[in-house]
Structure 1
Amino acid sequence: MTLMIPAAPCTMAATSVLPTVVRIKPPIRRRWAVQASLSSPPRGVEAVDWVEATSYLFEQDTRPIMLFDGVCNLCNGGVKFVRDNDRQRNIRFEALQSDAGKSLLRRSGRAPDDISSVVLVEQNRSYIKSEAVLKIMEYIDLPFPQLAFFIQFVPLFIRDFVYENIADNRYAVFGRSESCEL
């Protein structure tokens, strides 16, 4: 969330008064939805309700959508793993680089070009990083929901630390492909 605070007026004639940007981190919520940005758009830019703009993706099919980096070999392997272990087809897939993926990222309060994390978008909430992985595990076949139950007791900052270290090195360790394989 970004809060715009006007700077104090300056007495020097050559200095212009510009707003100061203060970043406020939202409180960490365990197992809750990631909230979309509450900041107002700049003047002259129309606000877009990204939940409304992407609601068409959930009109006919209410299954959650897993967003993944389409050129990452680790991510593509993860999607294949989820597909193989999701016999009831509970999850849909979309590359982060696609138009729908970018819109869903905005709906989740992320930048449209942010491909740093897997995101799981449900009809009314979104999960990122290790929370997304745990939620995905809850949707697939046994024994993964039970494993997710035990992993949730590991503190979020530790889970996200491990997740971020893997995500930051995924191209170096697993490589990348020229295009999305799915």
Structure 2
Amino acid sequence: MGLLFLQPALRFVGSTPDMPRRVRPVSASSSSSTVDWVKTTDAEFFQGDSRPIMLFDGVCNLCNGGVRFVRSNDPNRRIRYAPLQSDSGRKLLKRSGRSPDDISSVVLVEKNRSYIKSEAVLRIMEHLDLPFPQLALMLKIVPLFARDFAYDNVANNRYAIFGRSEIESCEIL
């Protein structure tokens, strides 16, 4: 039985009940436009390289520092990066079922799924060198609503606390 009582109640997106509410399956039906964003982005981003892509706010000093931190703890380059504001970022946001103008959260886009907020952060940690995968596992014990509450408080105040860059970060896929 153990820690099962600490697991939050899950709400589901899509038709597969084994996926937490903030994990969006990537499917052609996730976009309301006539463009098949999955097919378009698969060919452009995942055909020759299946590594996940971390989308981040390219003008946020906290976010750019987060990318530098992840890069320094990912010597095998398991993650690629793109600013949310870039053309690539906007396409990948559409693929993830989000507005192309939504810069409110870090997003991790994998070939078959997208993660946002604290789930994206924990998933990114799983791709890094030790001790971060173990830390991510421990943090999953914290209920999603509590993790996202903390995430939202930092994200909503990131410019006031950490400032903005005058220039947008370059695209570094």
TM-score scaled to structure 2, two decimals? Answer: 0.82
Structure 1 residue 181 displacement after superposition? 3.6
Mapped to 1, the partners of 2:79 and 2:120 lie a distance apart of 12
More helix by share: 2
Mapped to 2, the partners of 1:108 and 1:162 lie a distance apart of 23
Structure 1 residue 52 displacement after superposition? 0.8
Q: 1:101 to 1:138 in 2, by over 3 A?
A: same
SS of the residue corresponding to residue 145 of structure 1 reads: helix
Structure 1 residue 49 displacement after superposition? 1.5
Report the residue type matching 2:57 in the other structure: D
- For 1:77, the equivalent position in structure 2 comes to 65
| Greater RCO, 1 or 2 (C-alpha within 8 Å, sep 6+) | 2
Structure 1 residue 34 displacement after superposition? 1.2
Structure 1 residue 58 displacement after superposition? 0.6
Structure 1 residue 139 displacement after superposition? 0.2
Structure 1 residue 31 displacement after superposition? 7.7
Report the residue type matching 2:24 in the other structure: V
Q: 1:146 to 1:93 in 2, by over 3 A?
A: same
Gapped regions of structure 2 (runs ≥ 5): 1-10, 14-18
Contact kept, 8 Å, 2:12 with 2:20, in 1: the verdict is: no
Question: Pairwise mapping of residues 70-149 of structure 1 onto structure 2 (< 5 A)?
Answer: 70-149=58-137
Structure 1 residue 47 displacement after superposition? 1.4
Instruction: State the aligned residue count.
Output: 153
Residue 42 of structure 2 is aligned to residue 52 of structure 1: no
SS of the residue corresponding to residue 59 of structure 2 reads: coil
Residue 23 of structure 2 is aligned to residue 33 of structure 1: yes
Structure 1 residue 50 displacement after superposition? 1.1
Contact kept, 8 Å, 1:63 with 1:122, in 2: the verdict is: yes
Q: Percent identity?
A: 65
Contact kept, 8 Å, 2:25 with 2:112, in 1: the verdict is: no
Considering only aligned residues, what root-mean-square deviation do their CA atoms show, in Å? 2.0
Q: Which runs of 4+ in 1 moved over 6 A?
A: none
Deviations 1:56-98 (A, max 9, x none): 2011111000000000000000000000000111000000000
Report the residue type matching 2:37 in the other structure: W
Contact kept, 8 Å, 2:55 with 2:83, in 1: the verdict is: yes
Identify which range, 81-90 or 47-56, moves more after superposition.
Answer: 47-56
Report the residue type matching 2:34 in the other structure: A
Contact kept, 8 Å, 1:85 with 1:141, in 2: the verdict is: yes
- For 1:158, the equivalent position in structure 2 comes to 146
Q: 1:146 to 1:39 in 2, by over 3 A?
A: closer
